[in-house]
Structure 1
C-alpha cells in the first residue's frame, strides 16, 4: 500500500508575535523622524522660493558685474572689478547718491512723524473710524505712475498749482524742476503722499495692541493725553518704530518711480539734479551705455550701502530701545 505524503506547505518565516514589536519600533522611529523633519518641510517652500527669486538673482548679478556685459553684444570677457572702479570714478554716480540720500531724508523722517500723529488720531474715539482709515490708506493704492504724473503737473515751473497758490501770497514762483533742493522736496512730497498711510496703519495696529490698563492707570494719576503719548505709547511702540525705520530706509534708498515720472523725459533733470541711484542704474543698463556689467556693479554697491545703513539703523534703534526699557525698569 503506497503512502501518500502531505503536500509541501511553505513554513511561516516569522510568527506574528515576533513581527508586532518590529512594526511598533518602526512606527516609533517614523514618528520621531516626522517630529524632527515636519517643521523644516513646512517652511521649506519659503526658502526654496527665496533661493530662486532672491539668492539666485543676487549671485547672478554679482557674476554679471565682473564681466564686460552689454545689452546688444551679450557676455564679454572677465574684467574683475573694473566695472566697480569705473562706476566709483563716475561723477554722475556720486550725484545720484547725493540725490538719493537727500530725497530719502526729506521723505523718511517726516513720514515716520506724520505716521505717529495720524495713528494717534485714528486710535482716538472718532466717528466713522473705518472711513478715515480707508481714506488714509487710499493714496497707497493709487498707481505710482498716476501719482507721479499728477504731482509733476502740480509742481510745474510755469503753470503749476503750487506756484499759482504761492503767487497769490506774493511769493515768487519756485523752479521745482530746475533747483536741486526744490526738486528733492517735490519728489519727497510724492513719496510721503503714497507711503504715509501705509506707515500709519502699521503704527495704528501696534497702538491698538497696547494694554488699555496702562492708559486707565495714567488717567487716575492725572496724566494728560500728551503725557500718555510720550510716556506710554512711544515706549510701547519701539519695536514697531524700529521696523518702520528699517523698511523706510530700504525703500527710500531704492526709490525709482517718483523721480522717474517727475518729468516727461525721465532723465533726472538737465543736470541730473534729482537722478537717483536706481535711475542711474537704469540709464547704464538700458540707456545710452547699455552696459549690464556696470549696471550690475551699481546694483551691488547700492545693496551694500543698504545693508550698512540698515545695520546702523538697527544698532541705533536697538540701543535706544534697550536704554528706554532699562530706564523704565529703574523708574518702577
Structure 2
C-alpha cells in the first residue's frame, strides 16, 4: 500500500484590520445641515404662531374659567359658569343670529358674483391685467373708510339709496332701524371689499382647468353657458368650498363694518345688527368689564369655527374621493 501523506492544517491568513475612518468635522456639520435645515427653515413660523396664536388661545381658556374683571384682575375659579351665563343671555343669541344672517346675505351673493367676474376675466379681454387689478382695489381700501362711506350711502334720511328710491316713488328704507335692512347694508360693505379678492382666487382656479375639457365640449356642440355649468363649475367645487369656509370664518369675526355703521358703535338701539365680536367687546370693555365672560364668548366662537373646519375637511375629502371608477365609468 502506498503511504498517504497527511498535510498539516493550514493556518488561516488574517486580513489586516481596517482602521475606522474618522469622520471630519465638516462632514458631521454637512449631515446635520441636511437633517436639521428643513426644520430650522420652518421653525420661525411655528415659534411665531406659538407666541401670537397658541399662547393667547390657552390664556383665553384660562381666563374664561375665572371670574376675571378688567379692573380687579383674576378672581375665583368658576369653571364653566361663564359659558352658562353667556349662553343664557338673550343678547348673545341675538348677536349670534345677526352674525349668521349677515354672513348668509354676504357670502351667497359674494360667491356667485365672484365666479361670474372670474369667468369674464378668464375670457380673451383687452387690458386683462388692468381689469384684474381693478377688481382688487376695493380690498385695498381700509374697512373703516368703507364703513364710513357706506353709512352715508345707507343713511335713513338723506342717503344716496333713499334718494334714488324716492325718484321712483318708493318709500325710504329705515336702514338703521329695521333689522333686515341693516343686515343688507352691512353685507353690502362686506361684498364690496371681498368680491374682487375671491374673484381672483376663482380666476386662478379656472386657469388651472385643462383646456382639453373645453375643446371636447366644443366638439360635442356645447355652448359657452353649457361649458360654464358642465365644465367650469364642477371643476371649481374644491375652490368654492374653500371660499365658502373662509368667508364663513371671516363672517363670524366681522367687527369693523357693523361697529362703524353708526356713530354710536353699539349695534343699534335694539342691538339689531350687533355681532358676536361686538358682544364680546361690550362684555370686556363695556359696563360689565367681565373678561371672564368675554373670554368665554371668544372660545364659543372658536369652537364654532372649529366645527365649520371639520365640515370643510369632510366635504373636501368627499369631493377629492369622487372620480372615475375602476371600470372607467364616471
User: Residues 328, 114 of structure 1: CA spacing in aligned structure 2 closer, same or farther, 3 A cutoff?
Assistant: farther
User: Residues 264, 329 of structure 1: CA spacing in aligned structure 2 closer, same or farther, 3 A cutoff?
Assistant: farther
Q: Which runs of 5+ in 1 are unaligned?
A: 1-16
The count of aligned residue pairs is 313
C-alpha deviations, 1:269-301, integer Å up to 9, x for none?
A: 000000000000000111111111111110000
CA distance in 1, matches of 2:23, 2:270: 78
CA contact (8 A) 1:84 1:298 kept: yes
CA contact (8 A) 1:245 1:313 kept: no
Q: Which residue of 2 aligns with 1:298?
A: 297
Shift, 1:209, TM fit: 1.7
Q: Which residue of 1 aligns with 2:209?
A: 210
Shift, 1:259, TM fit: 0.4
Q: Which residue of 2 aligns with 1:22?
A: 22
CA distance in 1, matches of 2:134, 2:326: 36
Secondary structure of the residue that 1:23 maps to in structure 2?
A: coil
CA distance in 1, matches of 2:241, 2:84: 35
How high is the TM-score relative to the length of structure 2? Answer: 0.89
CA distance in 1, matches of 2:326, 2:313: 21
CA distance in 1, matches of 2:326, 2:210: 16
Q: Which residue of 2 aligns with 1:71?
A: 70
Q: Which residue of 2 aligns with 1:178?
A: 177
Note the aligned Cα RMSD (angstroms). 2.1
Shift, 1:27, TM fit: 6.5
C-alpha deviations, 1:27-69, integer Å up to 9, x for none?
A: 6665554433332222111111111111011001001111111
CA distance in 2, matches of 1:104, 1:94: 15
Shift, 1:18, TM fit: 4.9
Q: Which runs of 5+ in 2 are unaligned?
A: 1-17
Mean Cα deviation higher: 299-308 or 202-211: 202-211
User: Residues 46, 59 of structure 1: CA spacing in aligned structure 2 closer, same or farther, 3 A cutoff?
Assistant: same
How high is the TM-score relative to the length of structure 1? Answer: 0.88
Q: Which residue of 2 aligns with 1:7?
A: none
- The residue correspondences of 1:44-55 to structure 2 (distance < 5 A) are 44-55=43-54
CA contact (8 A) 1:62 1:300 kept: yes
User: Residues 66, 138 of structure 1: CA spacing in aligned structure 2 closer, same or farther, 3 A cutoff?
Assistant: same
